[in-house]
Amino acid sequence: MSKTTETEPSAEVANPVDVFVMCVACDNRGKTWKGSDPKCAFDCGVFGDNWNCATVGMIRDICYEGQSSIPDGVDYQYCEDDKYATIKTDDIDIDGRPLALWVSWYKSRGSTQAMWLLFDSGPPRHPTELECLLIVDFYT
Ligand SMILES: [Zn+2]
């Protein structure tokens, strides 16, 4: 009788952050601060509940007043502490050809409250990670 000599895979425990599905940017960045763990916005495939998601952070970087100059095609506004931006997307190859991505957040908090792709007809929908990356790529 032969006996297998294969060894079991290492039982090393992964960093708890790594066991959740997350976007590539969150995975590459990891956790670089003390305090609460990040919550990736794309763990269900499309934008959802989030905190310090790296892909969402890249979107906010192109539409926030902290920038030295906000790119053409991005309209940033605020009302009290609510911030929102409309990012023109009609030159970007996104399914359904949305006119814009609408983004809102509160102060400089890590949670981004809303992200909607807006169309000339039909209802808005949440963007995917890939669609956000196409937008970031276009504006940076
Ligand atoms: Zn993420």
Does residue 19 lie within any of the structural domains?
A: no
Average pLDDT of the segment spanning 38-46: 93
> What is the distance in A from the centroid of ligand 1 to the CA of 48?
10
* 74: confidence class by pLDDT, cuts 50, 70, 90: very high
The pLDDT score that the predictor gives to residue 65 is 67
Does residue 65 lie within any of the structural domains?
A: yes
> What is the distance in A from the centroid of ligand 1 to the CA of 114?
14
> What is the distance in A from the centroid of ligand 1 to the CA of 108?
17
Give the residue among 99, 93, 114, 140 at the shortest CA–CA distance from 46: 114
Residue 88: pLDDT above 70?
A: yes
> 135 near 86, Cβ under 8 Å?
no
Give the residue among 124, 41, 129, 42 at the shortest CA–CA distance from 86: 124
Does residue 135 lie within any of the structural domains?
A: yes
The pLDDT score that the predictor gives to residue 15 is 54
Q: Which domain covers residue 62, as residue numbers?
A: 24-139
Does residue 9 lie within any of the structural domains?
A: no
> What is the distance in A from the centroid of ligand 1 to the CA of 7?
34
The pLDDT score that the predictor gives to residue 110 is 87
* 128: confidence class by pLDDT, cuts 50, 70, 90: very high
Does residue 100 lie within any of the structural domains?
A: yes
Does residue 18 lie within any of the structural domains?
A: no
How many domains does one find in the chain? 1
The pLDDT score that the predictor gives to residue 69 is 81
The pLDDT score that the predictor gives to residue 115 is 98
Does residue 44 lie within any of the structural domains?
A: yes
Does residue 4 lie within any of the structural domains?
A: no
> What is the distance in A from the centroid of ligand 1 to the CA of 137?
16
The pLDDT score that the predictor gives to residue 38 is 92
Q: How far is CA 72 from each of CA 25, 38, 77, 90, rounded to the nearest angstrom?
A: 25, 30, 14, 13
> What is the distance in A from the centroid of ligand 1 to the CA of 39?
7
The pLDDT score that the predictor gives to residue 55 is 97
